[in-house]
Chain A
Amino acid sequence: MIPGTFEYYRPSDLPEAIKLLATHGDDARVMAGGHSLIPMMKLRMADIPHLVDLQDIDALRGIEVSSGTIRIGAMVTQHELIADEALLKAAPIIREAALQIADPQVRYVGTVGGNVANGDPGNDMPGLMQCLDAVFTVQGPDGARDIAARDFYEAAYFTARADDEILTSVSFKPQPGGYAYEKQKRKIGDYATAASAVLIARDGKVCSGASIAMTNLSDTPIYSDAASQALIGSDLGADAVSAAVDAALAEIDPAEDGRGPIEFKKHVAGVILRRAIERAISRA
């Protein structure tokens, strides 16, 4: 469990980091908290001759909450997400989800940027960001651009970010209304057997907005528009909930692993999603 040899860089600003990526091309990779990357290097599944540590770049830090948008720097740790009171008010689902990631030790160093950029289907933040309809800002040699979270994930470990781009922040709108992040895992520190993020807005008795995404049930996060649509305009009664669950389940494609066979995962996905929807409704 010892990584191969690598050069270590610690640039203090973004342009310098981008330049390092441009110089070393495929041989370079950025590192945030390192809690996904370093294990891969130790297992020698990732061979990274040039490692660019982002932790000294202040521009990648900070949480800004304003009435119109929330912007979270890529290097904000999961612990900082949990601790931020303004963020809790504006989008409480973030804390609920972040508390279900790994354990406190991992959360002190694991970052938002690393979690969403990694492209691992097991990460919880990608599904969460799709549920929030977040936008990822990336910056490369040709400047910055925005990519919608819902368009970002192509396949396991393949994303719309180019190799020479660095993700700088994620932004989304404040989310009033009901929310829930529900996750089943085998133990503390485990990735999800199934997880789902749900947001529900209500206008009187009628559902005025809904967003549903699921984690670790396919090789990318699953944002289910059909499931969301099944709720919008409904009375959020049992039939509507069942329709939403069925719609979401039609889109998942889980793989067998140590957590169990496919059939089990599909069943659990349904249970977890239903619980998430019901909890979100109860809070809407």
Chain B
Amino acid sequence: MNEMTPTKSERAAALKGLGTSRKRVEDSRFTQGKGNYIDDIKMPGMVFGDFVRSPYAHARVKSINAEKALELPGVIAVLTAADLEPLSLHWMPTLAGDKQMVLADGKVLFQGQEVAFVVAEDRYIAADAIDLVEVDYEELPVLVDPMKAELDDAPILREDIADQKAGAHGARRHPNHIFTWEQGEKEATEAVLSGADVVAEETVYYHRTHPCPLETCGCVASMDKVNGKLTLYGTFQAPHVVRTVASLLSGIAEHNIRVVSPDIGGGFGNKVGVYPGYVCSIVASIVTGVPVKWVEDRMDNLMATAFARDYWMTGKIAATKEGKITGLWCHTVADHGAFDACADPTKFPAGFMNICTGSYDIPTAYLAVDGIYTNKAPGGVAYRCSFRVTEAAYFIERMIEVLAIKLDMDAGELRKINFIKKDQFPYNSALGWEFDSGDYHTAWDKAMKAVDYDGLRKEQAERVQAFKNGETRKMMGIGLCHFTEIVGAGPMKNCDILGMGMFDSCEIRIHPTGSAIARLGTISQGQGHATTFAQILASEIGISADDITIEEGDTDTAPYGLGTYGSRSTPVAGAATAMAGRKIRAKAQMIAAYLLEVHDNDIEWDVDRFVVKGAEERFKTMKEVAYASYNQEIPGVEPGLEAVSYYDPPNMTYPFGAYVCVMDIDIDTGEHEIRKFYALDDCGTRINPMIIEGQVHGGLTEALAIAMGQEIAYDEMGTHKTATLMDFFIPTAWETPHYETDFTETPSPHHPIGAKGVGESPNVGGVPAFSNAVNDAFRAFGVNHTHTDMPHDHWRIWKTARDLGMHD
């Protein structure tokens, strides 16, 4: 080897493949304001749609009079349910097997519900016209509290299905009841509880909040009446599914529909569902023959498009005196709002809530979830989490703390006693999952050491003493969390959305000069797919990530896939990418062997080339092979170098992590200060450490928001109280603490590159860590104090202190 030949490690580094903190290729356009978001799309002749929305949470719509609005110059049309009914589009199916009004059909069921769709020449005229549409409402009694849904005097919300005794998920026991979903062993769990040394009980409410992406939802629908093609640009986390749904709803053949997701400014689950705005824009474009744009404003977004959480989780956890957990029981009342529009895999009406045994070896468990209708906006989406995993993690991580109090035991020690052990993987949980891999003890010990856990507890004890001596009014809380996620939905045997299996895909084309394009069925909303998927591929096929274009989001060009949410892109589409890359390599090997005049088996892969075994100086680089594939006749091999892979994952992946939050709380004002936040994540193989860190920072900040103040609140009339960012908490740099990140690396045994997904872990693990810190600060005061609900805003923290007599 002469001096000019780069070494193996130099060649590997040049690829910028797995493990490289490659700078995000998307950022040059994002940071220069050159992204292309939905509201940047302008088409010739485009008009604007906007909604007349209900001011009431529950009312009959007696009449709608659009005359005055139609007289306003520039107003083109006002659509109501009556206009959509002949097309059977006044209602639409939801992803959860329910149906939802597109426009108010005789009544409204939540404040902000879409009543009429005004189409005008510009958005300013549309806004004026909204005020001119006269709607005659008759108010009805309102149901806000799901616990009162089945009382005798509860108003019946869904008169359309009041008589149906069963829904998509089995029996309904009341018109306001949607489903009961049961998992695990009820009787066995009850037997464990009744015979246990210790049982801790608590009701843990994970409040209603909202993904509130920076960019709101919107679309541009353009029906070309000449060629019969519908083009739909939109903020879609699952563009291919939207195409299928649009085809099924509209009757337009699927090949005549093109759905495009341009740059998306955050999704967090908010952009998975199908909204009335999309349907109305399509209809309006068909009616008017011109493109129609609809973009929500912030209030629309917070009031009407999908919320997250709203789970009332009552738990019982049984253990021996020594702290070994023997059983877990959970009953959840799930407030779904006016329609069941959750975005979960079909067979999972409560998502993966049955991951609620957490990181612990719990032999017996039972979970029941009751879905309930109320006069609130529909949703229940996975806000930066995989289908109800945040709820599950919060539940178990609170229950562990409650149990630790009951046992008078250290909560960290209690976790260690109960962790699933490394040699128990693959581990079959009592609620039906096969955890693929994990090494919880190693991660936990590393975390405890990093934060000097014993030192923190000592300091906390001193602080309690100082408070008792009247020397301080600030309490110290140590919030622990060890979470296990379940992401990468999912195997087609149990995961589908509207019948579509939850596989994903990648199609690769290598160009003659040795650069490439790869298209995937997913769609980035800021995660950096164009950066990381190129890295996966670079390591597989030996072409530098810089020479690989990643494209997503255009259903005319990208292969079919189920989209990006639930941390599924890396586990599923990332796997498809690696598999497609391997197909490329297999073909490339035949070509290389031919070029080197040896048998296929006599060459081997070496970073970016095939070398003749035992004669390293004889090689063909992938670049050379690519060129040959286009310009040379190779016997028995088709020209070109392309591959496609549709990947049906054999299992979910189970990322995990150990988080510690140290917080000071002012008991007089309820203010808090986060002194330390340590986050150790194990997401298996790490593709791009910088992006992982960025994802962890972002996810933790959303977790901070949710735990410490962010909430969708309604008053008793069903009036939305938090519809602007003045009241809906989004942390700024000021409120955001410093985060220390760390990792262990336990590859997934079934994923082609061992990666597990990380985007959502920090939200799943962060919320319990923050909330546990608040609760822990009060642990020394009052034996009966086991739990306070989020959000831990100033007045609620203050109230806890007051209720514990700390102000006396």
Contact = CB atoms under 8 A, between A and B. Distances in A.
B297 interface: yes
Interface in B656-690: 668-671
A3 to B, nearest CB: 8
A103 B795 CA distance: 23
Interface residues of A, number: 23
Nearest to A2: B127
Most buried by B among A189, A190, A264: A264
Contact of A184 (B131, B731, B794, B802): B794
A177 to B, nearest CB: 26
Interface in B179-202: none
Given A5-B128, A184-B794, A186-B793, A258 B734 contact: no
A187 B709 contact: yes
B732 A264 contact: no
B533 interface: no
Contacts of B726: 189-191
Contacts of B731: 187
A186 B713 CA distance: 16
A260 B798 contact: yes
A247 interface: no
A189 B726 CA distance: 8
Interface in B706-758: 709, 713, 721-722, 726-727, 729, 731-732, 734-735
Contacts of A267: 668, 798, 802, 807
A227 B669 CA distance: 21
Contacts, number: 61
A268 interface: yes
A1 interface: yes
A150 to B, nearest CB: 28
Nearest to B722: A258
A1 B297 contact: yes
Nearest to B126: A2
A139 B124 CA distance: 35
Contacts of B131: 4, 44
A187 B669 contact: no
Interface in A79-121: 103
B713 A258 contact: yes
A38 B795 CA distance: 30
Contacts of B727: 258
B798 A189 contact: no
B299 interface: yes
B298 interface: yes
Determine the interface band of chain B, counting residues with CB < 8 A from chain A: 20 to 34
Interface in A1-24: 1-2, 4-5
A144 B297 CA distance: 43
A226 interface: no
Nearest to A193: B794
B123 A186 contact: no
Given A1-B298, A44-B131, A271-B669, A259 B794 contact: yes
B799 interface: yes
Interface centre among A186, A259, A260 (most CB of B within 10 A): A186
A188 interface: yes
B737 to A, nearest CB: 14
Contacts of B793: 186, 260
A272 interface: yes
Contact of A259 (B713, B732, B795, B799): B795
A141 interface: no
Contacts of B802: 267
Contact of A4 (B128, B668, B669): B128
A200 to B, nearest CB: 22
Contacts of A190: 726
A95 B664 CA distance: 28
B299 A1 contact: yes
Nearest to A194: B669
Interface string A187-212: 11111010000000000000000000
Interface string B346-386: 00000000000000000000000000000000000000000
Contacts of A271: 668-669
Contacts of A2: 123-124, 127
Contacts of A264: 670, 794-795, 798-799
A241 to B, nearest CB: 15
A260 B732 contact: no
A118 to B, nearest CB: 15
Given A1-B297, A187-B709, A189-B732, A272 B669 contact: yes
B202 to A, nearest CB: 24
A261 interface: yes
Contacts of B298: 1
Contacts of B299: 1
Nearest to B726: A190
B735 A188 contact: yes
Nearest to B666: A271
Nearest to B299: A1
A272 B794 CA distance: 14
A1 B216 CA distance: 13
A242 to B, nearest CB: 15
B798 A187 contact: no
A2 B722 CA distance: 19
Nearest to A122: B726
B729 A188 contact: no
Contact of B732 (A1, A103, A261): A103
B95 to A, nearest CB: 29
A268 B802 CA distance: 12
Given A5-B128, A44-B131, A260 B794 contact: yes
B671 A184 contact: yes
Interface in A223-261: 258-261
Interface string A108-146: 000000000000000000000000000000000000000
Given A2-B123, A4-B128, A272-B669, A186 B807 contact: no
A260 B722 CA distance: 13
Given A2-B123, A261-B795, A264-B795, A184 B729 contact: no
Nearest to A261: B795
Contact of A268 (B128, B721, B798): B798
A190 B709 CA distance: 13
Contacts of B798: 260, 264, 267-268
Nearest to B735: A187
A191 B299 CA distance: 19
Contacts of B732: 103, 187-189
A187 B729 contact: yes
A264 B796 CA distance: 9
Contacts of A193: 794
Given A188-B732, A189-B732, A190-B726, A258 B671 contact: no
B241 to A, nearest CB: 30
B729 A186 contact: yes
Contacts of B297: 1
A268 B709 CA distance: 18
Q: Which among A2, A184, A259, A271 has the greatest number of chain B C-beta atoms within 10 A?
A: A2
Interface in B486-527: none
A272 to B, nearest CB: 7
A32 to B, nearest CB: 20
Nearest to A3: B127
21 contacts: A1-B298, A2-B124, A184-B671, A186-B709, A186-B793, A187-B709, A187-B732, A187-B735, A188-B735, A190-B726, A191-B726, A193-B794, A258-B713, A259-B794, A260-B794, A264-B670, A264-B794, A264-B799, A267-B798, A268-B668, A268-B669
Interface of A: 1-2, 4-5, 44, 103, 184, 186-191, 193, 258-261, 264, 267-268, 271-272
Given A2-B124, A4-B131, A260-B794, 15 more contacts: A1-B298, A5-B124, A5-B128, A44-B131, A186-B794, A187-B731, A187-B732, A188-B732, A188-B735, A259-B794, A259-B795, A260-B793, A267-B807, A268-B668, A271-B668
Closest 8 CB pairs of A and B: A260-B795, A2-B127, A264-B795, A1-B297, A188-B734, A271-B668, A258-B727, A188-B732
